[in-house]
Homo-oligomer: A and B are copies of this chain.
Amino acid sequence: MRAATPVIAIDVGGTTARAAVVDRDELRGRVSAPTVRGGGLVYAIVRLVDEALTSAGVSRGDVRAVGLSVPGPVSVDRRRVVFTGNVGLHDIPLADRLEGQLNLPVAMDDDANCAALGEAELGAARGASVAVLLIVGTGIGAGVVIDGAVFRGAHGAAGEVGHIVLDPAGPVCSCGDHGCFEALAAGPALAARGRTAAEQGLSPLLLQESQPDTACLDASAVMAAAAAGDTGAAGAVQETGRWLGIGVAAVASAFDPDVIVLAGGLGDTAVMLDWARSGVRDHCIEPIDSLTRVERARLGDDAGLWGAARLAYDQMALRGTA
């Protein structure tokens, strides 16, 4: 049971930062603002926290802890942001700085772990003993929750499944390797296949949308063209989905979870859900092929806030202030 003490949950995303006051199972005073890049981020977060408190009608003195989700890897002690290019942070002691500004204990983790905690507590992975949240968007990241706690591995990097090699002869990945799961099944891979289809004259619809050129085509344009009946775009979606299924099956074979929750711009779609389910059915052995479920995320943009709140409550429990 949660204590009847409000905590502050903050979710700093690549483009939007959110904050809310969480009191037991209630999320109050939800506010958001464009993410401030670089050095001004701490003060922007403090402003956002004050807005959330005002909006929820809670004074800062009533709050006992803060949970923070950040869009990139954190250090093993979870005090530093290792690197988040899109927010302009590089090896910054963000948790400590925020603690200094708010005068409250701050617990921090990356977005995948926070969203996984949120979905495990209140969303699509509720009740699961082992759950994996897979974010399929610009890249592929995962958060693994075992018995209600994030499984971090020995060095804080467990669930780096986006860099499992599924095809050594495959396309170059952002990490420099070839054929990583994310190089084959994330948004940019789908966009690249759509561009190729347009350039080869296989996709009239995508060619038509290629203004000024095919470089402007993104994953959602390809998904939309496929949904509109364009066969070239549908082929690109099919190839991406096939690889997504193979990668999701690899994750299932490793962790044997109750459920794999798909999130992210590309992952959280009905089309990719079907491919992921087929992948587990076709590429896992008994009993995983029949028992591991694949579901879409349920908490949407709130997953990170709920997970951040959970971090804050866990921190309070550790300090005996719950």
* Chain A residues within CB distance 8 Å of chain B: 128-130, 146, 151-161, 163-168, 175, 177, 242, 246, 249-251, 253-258, 282-288, 291-292
Contact = CB atoms under 8 A, between A and B. Distances in A.
Contact of A177 (B254, B282, B287, B288): B282
A249 B224 CA distance: 36
A143 B284 CA distance: 17
Contacts of A254: 158-161, 164, 250-251, 254-255
- Interface residues of chain A: helix, strand, loop or mixed (majority): loop
Contacts of A285: 157, 160, 163, 175
A177 B129 CA distance: 28
B256 A163 contact: no
Nearest to A257: B154
Contacts of A258: 154
Contact of A167 (B167, B253, B256, B292): B167
A118 to B, nearest CB: 19
A156 B283 contact: no
A283 to B, nearest CB: 5
B160 A256 contact: yes
Tally of this chain's copies:
2
B130 A153 contact: yes
Contacts of A246: 165, 168
A71 to B, nearest CB: 17
Contacts of A156: 256, 287
A85 B159 CA distance: 33
A166 B251 CA distance: 12
Contact of A288 (B160, B168, B249, B250): B160
A104 to B, nearest CB: 29
Contact of A154 (B151, B250, B256): B256
Interface centre among A164, A253, A287 (most CB of B within 10 A): A253
Closest 8 CB pairs of A and B: A153-B256, A158-B256, A154-B258, A254-B254, A157-B256, A164-B250, A130-B154, A160-B253
Contacts of A161: 253-254
B249 A165 contact: yes
Contacts of A177: 282-283
A164 B253 contact: yes
Contacts of A129: 154
A206 B155 CA distance: 44
Contact of A165 (B153, B157, B166): B166
27 contacts: A128-B154, A130-B158, A146-B146, A153-B288, A154-B292, A155-B256, A155-B288, A155-B292, A157-B288, A158-B254, A158-B256, A159-B254, A160-B256, A160-B284, A160-B285, A161-B253, A163-B284, A165-B166, A165-B249, A165-B283, A166-B166, A167-B167, A175-B285, A177-B283, A250-B250, A251-B254, A254-B255
